[in-house]
Structure 1
Amino acid sequence: MSEEQFSILLVDDDEVDRMTVKRALNKAGLAVNLAEAEDGQNAIAKLKLKEHNLFEVLGTNIPTQTSKKNIRKFDIILLDYRLPDIDGLELIAEIKAINLDLPIIVLTGQGDEEIAVKIMKAGAVDYLSKAKIEPKNLAKAITSAIRVHRAEKAVQLANQRLRASNELLILKNQELERQQQQIKLQNIQLQESYNLKSEFLATMSHELRTPMNAIMGFSQLLLRQYKDPLSQQQQNLVERILNNSKNLLDMINEMLDFSKIEAGKLELKPQKFDLNYLIKLTVEELRSLALQKQLDLITDVKLQDPYLIQDSNFIKRTIINLLSNAIKFTESGTISIKAEVIEENQIIISVTDTGIGIAPEDCDKIFQAFRQADQSFTRQHSGTGLGLAITQSLVTMMGGKITLNSELGKGATFTVEIPRKYDV
């Protein structure tokens, strides 16, 4: 038999029947701590003696002097339903009333099986006839009842833990939903701020263009020297005003274009045009900037079929941005622009310079708005940091992509790949 020791409360008013049960337990080799009660009142008193189902061990094979080791919970109750002061149904009800969840085996006399079944319906787990109590059967009934009860308790505990986990999960889900609502609200607020910023940039850029054009116009008018010629010093000052005004107007235009792109108000207008002609025209517009720095500006266009159906303004702005950047960051050497067909419907335009180049860790940064490879206040080259961000947006809108190949100190090559025909 199992070496586990069970604590049993035997409730029976017949001393002979109690002795019979104790002998059967001894013969079965079942290790037990046995407490006895002669009636229902005594049984309830023993159960209440320790509210946590603790009792002072009494019975066969147990030392008369009790100790902490001899005190433990009851595992099972063996109950004779015919007691002098209470019947089995009432006793089971009282046991449940004091919140004791213990398995109960009913011991019946001859012909009491029908009543015993009623008691089992009231909460007992098994019944045995006193006339048929045998060590083997009694031990089997006790161990089975205890194991089934423990299994049920384990299931109940698992269910309680599951319910607790579910409740915790529900609370966490509620907290996540609350956080999601907060995030949605913050996103709405951020979007509103983003829209306000874009509107502000667009408004300010537009408002600044008017006085800037006036400054440039008056500067050009002074440089014509109709009646009163300017001195060389005055002419130099006016030229500086004009050049700085042009630079500032370029930055304002970049801000305006960027705000339109952010607001989704920049529309793409595909049309058929000659790319060869567009590239040559754009290069000639910027050639004077290259000549000022004594840079060679080379054009290499290899398009047998030069006609595209794209937004010519987008492509021109892309070429201007790439060439202007190349001129700005190149102090000596050559700048070249090349156009060729790589597939039947794919065109590439590349701009290569012999300038300062870009470090590998900065290659991704330069396409971000307001970012430049040199972010310090003492940087040599001015600008808004929007040119390449705008260029990438324009290329993307045309269904293309832009890539960079560069090495610090050895120049850079920007390559734009676009479809020959814009796919509406």
Structure 2
Amino acid sequence: MKRKYSLEFCVPFLLVFILLQVGWFIYKLVIMPDEGCHKELTLSVCTILVLLALLWIFTSKMSRQNKILEENNRKLSELDRMKTEFLANVSHELRTPLTVIMGYSELLEERLSKEEDETNLKFVQTVHRKSEDLLSLINDLIDFSRIESGKLELRLSLFTLEEVISETVEELATNVQKKGHNVQVNYGSTPLWLLADRGKIKQIAVNLLQNAIKYTPFNGHITVRTYMQGDMCCFEVEDDGVGIPEDEIKHIYQPFKQADSSYNKKYEGFGLGLAITKSLVQSHNGSIQVRSEPGKGSLFIVSLPREKNV
């Protein structure tokens, strides 16, 4: 890269020198001819020819380097496409047998609960619970591969943000209870109507609330707010959890990246949740912001365009 930049800087300087030499040559030959300047004119012509030769050499090298860079970029793009297809194919192949495992474990769970076999019931419940976790990870991989390949489709419908938030809080109530969290929901006075993909908006809310539950220690507090700000519908998810260091905030939306990225990380997951969330928000022409401080929790703010024709 350093060599490429040096060539790019050399070419303009050579052009300047050539123009100066040509200008001087024309000046001495046409405007101010002098009988004793033949040697100077000859030297000027030679200098111009040498500079032109150097210019040709440098531009040829730059052209070759650009072709190499283009080829490398093409190969990288192809590798990236193959990676995305591999993730999508593997995820789909894993989801099919996993669904079968979950179905049979659910049947076993019902049968063992009737037989009051608590020991085996606990084993089967663990299998079913971990299968659900694995399915969630696989679904994240599938969503990520669709976003990466540009195959994300939006099915627009009219709905209120409040009803999506209410469903999300209700569905995640079990997870909240397991950690003893106190979840408070504050709605604004005016219903917030959206013309958007209801499933995708719900996925955004689920991802943010799940993160708040995951990264908040037992008996923590989580607050969800909705309000209108100008032409935007906003909702916030605030927790008093572990928080995010300032130098990590800029990386949290990167795929396969978590705030705790150490080898023996405490929290499970691929680190795709926030990357998917940001892409979904942007696909709706919205924005997402985060404010956080280690040990004091995090605040995520999502803004989405409000549907005015309601």
TM-score (norm 2): 0.84
Gaps of 5+ in 2: 1-32
1:3-52 deviation line (CA, Å, top 9, x unaligned)? xxxxxxxxxxxxxxxxxxxxxxxxxxxxxxxxxxxxxxxxxxxxxxxxxx
Deviations 1:57-101 (A, max 9, x none): xxxxxxxxxxxxxxxxxxxxxxxxxxxxxxxxxxxxxxxxxxxxx
Query: Deviations along 1:161-203, whole A, 9 cap, x unmatched?
Result: 2221221111111111111111111222111111111111111
Q: Which one of the candidate residues 209, 228, 236 is aligned to 1:341?
A: 228
Matches of 2:113 and 2:252, distance apart in 1: 48
Secondary structure of the structure 2 residue equivalent to 1:365: coil
Please give the root-mean-square deviation of Cα atoms over the aligned residues, in Å.
1.8
Partner of 1:160: 46
Return the offset for 1:366.
Answer: 0.8
Question: 2:242, 2:295 within 8 Å by CA — same for their partners in 1?
Answer: yes
- Identify if the C-alpha distance between structure 1 residues 348 and 227 changes in structure 2 by more than 3 Å, giving closer, same or farther: closer
**Is the CA contact (8 Å cut-off) linking 1:330 and 1:355 kept in structure 2?**
yes
Q: Provide the rounded CA distance (Å) in 1 between the counterparts of 2:112 and 2:174.
A: 25
Whichever residue aligns with residue 141 of structure 2, its letter is M
| Count of matched residue positions in the alignment of Structure 1 and Structure 2 | 275
Letter of the structure 1 residue corresponding to residue 77 of structure 2: Q
- Tell whether the 8 Å contact from 1:268 to 1:311 is kept in structure 2 after alignment: yes
Q: Equivalent residues in 2 for 1:73-88 (5 A)?
A: none
> What does residue 357 of structure 1 align with?
243
Cα deviation, 1:107-153, whole Å, max 9, x if unaligned, reads: xxxxxxxxxxxxxxxxxxxxxxxxxxxxxxxxxxxxxx9x853x432
Q: Residue 368 of structure 1 corresponds to which residue in structure 2?
A: 254
Alignment of 1:161-240 (within 5 A): 161-225=47-111, 229=115, 231-240=117-126
Q: Tell me how far apart the structure 1 counterparts of residues 116 and 190 of structure 2 sit (CA, whole Å).
A: 51
Cα pair distance change 1:421/1:185, threshold 3 Å: farther
SS of the residue 2:130 aligns to = helix
What residue identity is the alignment partner of 1:189?
K
Aligned-partner Cα distance in 1 for 2:113–2:80: 51
Question: What secondary structure sits across from 1:194 in the alignment?
Answer: helix
The yes-or-no answer on 1:405 pairing with 2:286 is no
Q: Structure 1 unaligned runs (5+)?
A: 1-144
Residue in 1 that maps onto 2:170: 284
In the TM superposition, what is the alpha-carbon distance from 1:222 to its structure 2 partner? 1.1
C-alpha contact (below 8 Å) 1:276/1:303 kept by paired residues: no
Match of residue 137 from structure 1: none
Contact 1:356–1:408 (CA<8 Å) still a contact in 2? yes
More helix by share: 2
Q: 1:244 is matched with which residue?
A: 130
For residues 257 and 152 of structure 1, the distance between their equivalents in structure 2, rounded to whole angstroms, comes to: 75
Distance 1:221 1:368 in 2: 39
Deviation at 1:305, TM superposition (A): 3.0
After TM superposition, the score normalised by the length of structure 1 is 0.62
Once the two structures are TM-superposed, the CA of residue 301 in structure 1 deviates from its matched residue by: 1.4
Are the structure 2 counterparts of residues 404 and 390 from structure 1 closer, same or farther at C-alpha, using a change threshold of 3 Å?
same
Rounded Cα–Cα distance in structure 2 between residues aligned with 1:303 and 1:314? 24
- Structure 1 consecutive aligned stretches of length 4 or more whose deviation exceeds 3 Å: none
Contact 2:254 2:275 in 1 (8 A): yes
Who is 2:212 aligned against?
326
Take 2:114 and 2:163, find their aligned partners in 1: how far apart are those partners? Answer: 41
C-alpha change, 1:235 and 1:185, in structure 2 (3 Å) is: same
Q: 1:199 to 1:303 in 2, by over 3 A?
A: farther
In 2: Cα distance, 1:216 partner to 1:415 partner: 35
- The answer (yes or no) to whether the contact 1:402–1:417 under 8 Å persists in 2 is yes
CA deviation string 1:258-285 (max 9, x = no partner): 0000011111222111221111011100
> Helix, strand or coil: the match of 1:367?
coil
Q: In 1, Cα distance between the equivalents of 2:236 and 2:252?
A: 17
- Deviation track 1:337-396 (CA, whole Å, cap 9, x = no partner) reads 1111010x2111110011000000000111001111111121110100110000000001
Shift of 1:230: 5.1
Give 1:94's aligned residue: none
Shift of 1:421: 3.6
Residue 414 of structure 1 corresponds to 300
Matched with 1:29 is none
Distance 1:164 1:392 in 2: 55
Residue 12 of structure 2 is matched in structure 1 by none
- Asked if 1:383 corresponds to 2:269, the answer is yes
CA contact (8 A) 2:144 2:276 kept: yes
Q: Which SS does the other structure have where 1:350 is aligned?
A: strand
CA–CA distance in structure 2, aligned partners of residues 219 and 176 of structure 1: 63
